[in-house]
Structures are given as C-alpha cells and as structure tokens.
Amino acid sequence: MTPERYQRIRDMLAKRQTDLTVCLENVHKPHNVSAVVRTCDAIGIHKVHAVWENQYRVRSGTAMGSQQWVNVDTHENVTDAIGALKAQNMQVLVTHLSDKAVDFRDIDYTKPTAILFGQEKYGVTDEAIAMCDQDIVIPMVGMVQSLNVSVAAALVLYEAQRQRQIAGMYDVQHLSEEECQRMLFEGGYPVLTKVCKRKGIPYPPIDEQGQIAADDSWWQQMQLSTRALASLNA
C-alpha cells in the first residue's frame, strides 16, 4: 500500500459516523441496495442494517457496491433489527406518510439516529412503523407522492450530514484504532487478507507509512506457493 493510499483511507476512517445508520427492510433490487450503500459511504456511515425475508433475499456480495468500506449487518426480521438499533440508544425514524409525520429536515440528526426505508413497492411494514420513534416525510408538490428509495435515502442522509458537519461531528474520530487497523489491512492488502482468513491468522498492524509491521513469525505463517498466490489474485 502506498503512503498516499494509506493517508486517503486514514482520512476516510477519521470521519466515519458510528451512530448514524440506515436500515433497509426488504429493499431487494440490487441497483437500489447498491445505490443506498454507496450514498452511505459518501457521507461517512460506517455500518448499515438490512432485513431480507426469503422472497426478497438478495446476494449481498453482488448488491453491496461499497461493502468493502461500509459494514453490513443482516437481520432475520425487522423486530430484531429495530431492537438492535434501539439497544444502541438510537432514535429510529421511518419514511412514512401519516398524520404524525414531520418534515425530514425538522429532525435533529446530531442525535444517534437510524433511518428505516421500506420495500420498493409496498414500503415499510406496519410492524416496523409501530416500533419506530418518528415518521418522517419528504415534501412533494407534484403528482407523484413517492421517490425511488435510493433517492429518498440520499436526501435524508445529506441533511443528516449537513447538520453533523455544522456541529463539528466530522472533526472527531469515532472509530476505535482496532477497527481502523482492520479496515486499513483489508483495504490496503486484499490478497493477504484472503490468506489470513483462509489460514485463520490474525491481521498484522499497519504503520504510519501504510506498511505491514509484522515480525518474522507472521510472515512465515503467511508463506504460500506461487500457484496459491495466483489463485488468490484471480
């Protein structure tokens, strides 16, 4: 890994927001899932949550375009997902038109926040709505009363980013150094990451130049044949 790439990854990690996330309930079209995750990466979200019932299940590896940089937690059902978010003391918002819904810009996103987005055709389930803390809406004055889920997510998330930038929340690192080291190694040394996972070898530390700071015993464990290395690069 070059020093330039190391610094770019470091700068990205320093701005990751660990207490801002989205939850996708049965959003199953790969291009929508990928677009939402890409937006999450762009505004500094570290982890997203997803619920995929059997009929909506997608292959996360092919749908998550920015999954290398955004962690994805999947849940068996929306009750478990929202429960996990509330256990982290997050306010859980849901994009849903109702009498109690408020303009999405009236929310304080500097609080720990999760935003729930529903399935493309049917939206969020009644079960999810009942568990959320606040309904939010994106005001529209045209004939259309809904937006594509990835567009809606982008609008809400960039408002969250705007508020957090004003509050200086991007100027303080939220990720632990342990998590930063993990992502530095996986992002800077993808081939060696595969070897570590295959052999069950712990990741080595990365120094301030982006180089692996490991002792001889670690390198000995990592020894591979030319054929094995070629298969990892394939």
> 157, 136 in Cβ contact below 8 A?
no
pLDDT of residue 143: 72
> What confidence tier does 62 reach under pLDDT thresholds 50, 70, 90?
very low
pLDDT tens digit string along 134-143? 999 988 888 7
Residue 80 has which token pair?
A: 């478990």
pLDDT tens digit string along 64-110? 555 678 998 989 899 999 999 999 999 999 998 888 989 999 999 99
Residue numbers belonging to the annotated binding site: 95, 138, 147
Cα(7)–Cα(10) distance, integer angstroms: 5
> 109, 156 in Cβ contact below 8 A?
no
Residue 133 has which token pair?
A: 């803390």
Percent of the chain at pLDDT > 90 equals 59
Cα(198)–Cα(213) distance, integer angstroms: 20
pTM: 0.85
Cα(64)–Cα(190) distance, integer angstroms: 17
Single-letter residue type at 50: A
> 112, 89 in Cβ contact below 8 A?
yes
Rounded to the nearest 5 degrees, what angle is found at the Cα of 72, between the Cα atoms of 34 and 116? 75
Residue numbers belonging to the annotated binding site for S-adenosyl-L-methionine: 95, 138, 147
Residue entry with tokens 């290395």: 229
Widest CA span in the chain: 67
pLDDT of residue 85: 96
Residue 173 has which token pair?
A: 């690192």
Cα(170)–Cα(37) distance, integer angstroms: 19
Residue entry with tokens 């180089």: 211
26: left (phi over 0), alpha (psi -120 to 50) or beta: left
DSSP code string of 159-222: HHHHHHHHTTTTSS--S-HHHHHHHHHHHH-HHHHHHHHHHTPPPPPB-TTS-B---HHHHHHT
> What confidence tier does 173 reach under pLDDT thresholds 50, 70, 90?
very high
Walk me through the domains of the chain, giving residue ranges and CATH numbers. Answer: 17-166 (3.40.1280.10), 177-233 (no CATH)
Question: How many other CB atoms are found less than 10 A from the CB of residue 104?
Answer: 22
